[in-house]
Structure 1
């Protein structure tokens, strides 16, 4: 095959173009510190990167859900603590009223305070986080308790479930019936109402109400214990997600980040090869008449 001058020139230009592309690739890696700048540079790395970043996005979403879970649980625990304190105060007042040293007027004064504590408990049960009622199950838009109407305990007790890990849903609310509902279709508000009526009328023994208050106090304690157990699990899941986030970022870095020492060596080598190609190319191009006329 006859090799012409134009063939040599075209080959030289094509090789120089390839050399420029190689130099551009290593310069991009040096500037961005990444192996690729577009998927076509290395489709395998690009596909792996998309999958790893999807996993990282899921972890970050679970962490956001955990933040909401913490808010619900901490607010619920604080509310239950306030209910427990109110019941303790009601018990103190009941003990005080049951002594023989208090007359009818003193008991009426105690009844006024018990009434306010009863309303305080209702207010606590109507606690909102943001714009959501936390003690009304999945019906977060309506108040669970209305002392002025017929709704004395929440009607919705469905669990509020949040995705906290892959394939794991955890209820973050407290079932209000678990600590508000009593025996024989009675509830904490009707029983406190009976106590108030007794105090106002000064008509009977108050010892049974002490047992009732202890009953509801134990139910509140049990609800807090259950909530605390779930809170501990949330913390374990949070710690695990933190570890998974670190691992995911490490995998992404290993997949996409360029080894700077290797990039610098490759760039230096490519520059030397390119200079040698330019030098060789200058000898391939034959002199023209203009070169002799200078």
Structure 2
């Protein structure tokens, strides 16, 4: 049986194909203008799911990068304070060595040494109370204004931090790093603090006493401070390594997202040109199909 093909059937079929070509060309033009293969989930459900997963990982990596940057700033602040404190403590030791020469220095010279040592004590106390964005780097999670009370405190040179409560930053789902420093370990506390040691040296100098035994006390505090500096350096290296790793992860994720969502520019241009040729051919075919009028049928 032969199906009857009417002129109206041909018109409808031609117009449908013409619309299909136009829709394809419109889609290619949209992709070319946006630069994206996926503009809505229905464009590629599977690709959309992958892109969402990649973006979730990207957000996590970006947060880790912010954590690492903040942790690096904490550690840099603490390291600078410790290095400055160590330099001051070395100067105090040199002055103590000078003051041990009891047979050479008169009362005026010993008073001058005592005053300079007290100045170094105040400078060390200031470094011990260093803060970063309003948080003391030597007091853990404590919200106290300073990590150590001053010489007029009751008792003097008390550490105001919270024992065992450390400040940490997460660098990965299973990796955290401590970014603060235990002020008691670095500077001591109370009578065992470096500040109290310098007070005793200044008192002995004014009294004309032998300060040579105080050198061991300074050396003990210097050893403790060097240990904390080494710990800070180790953690800084950990943070720097994490930053490099996170940066590489972010680059890889951006590439993965682009592979799923972004168009191939050259291929899209070729497809668009081919579609334009197809559309023009469809227009030409339609013009011939739709050309007959009622008079053409009456001839």
TM-score of the aligned structures, taking structure 1 as reference length: 0.90
**1:53-202 residue pairs with structure 2 within 5 A?**
53-99=55-101, 100-147=103-150, 148-150=152-154, 152-156=157-161, 157=163, 158-181=165-188, 186-202=192-208
Aligned equivalent of 1:271, options 276, 288, 299:
276
Structure-2 separation of matches of 1:141 and 1:282? 85
**Which 4+ stretches in 1 moved above 3 angstroms?**
1-8, 289-292
Aligned-pair distance for 1:185?
Answer: 6.2
Does structure 1 conserve the Cα–Cα contact (< 8 Å) formed by 2:61 and 2:250? yes
Aligned residues: 290
Aligned equivalent of 2:243, options 238, 241, 248:
238
List per-residue Cα deviations over 1:13-44 (Å, max 9, x = no partner): 33222211100111122223322233222222
Tell me the secondary structure at the aligned position of residue 197 of structure 2.
helix
Across the aligned residues of Structure 1 and Structure 2, the Cα RMSD in angstroms comes to: 2.3
TM-score of the aligned structures, taking structure 2 as reference length: 0.88
Structure 2, unaligned stretches of length 5 or more? Answer: none
Structure-2 separation of matches of 1:8 and 1:83? 92
Does structure 2 conserve the Cα–Cα contact (< 8 Å) formed by 1:180 and 1:216? yes
Aligned-pair distance for 1:280?
Answer: 2.5
Which position in structure 1 is the counterpart of 2:220? 215
Which position in structure 2 is the counterpart of 1:47? 49
Tell me the secondary structure at the aligned position of residue 123 of structure 1.
helix
Structure-2 separation of matches of 1:161 and 1:189? 28
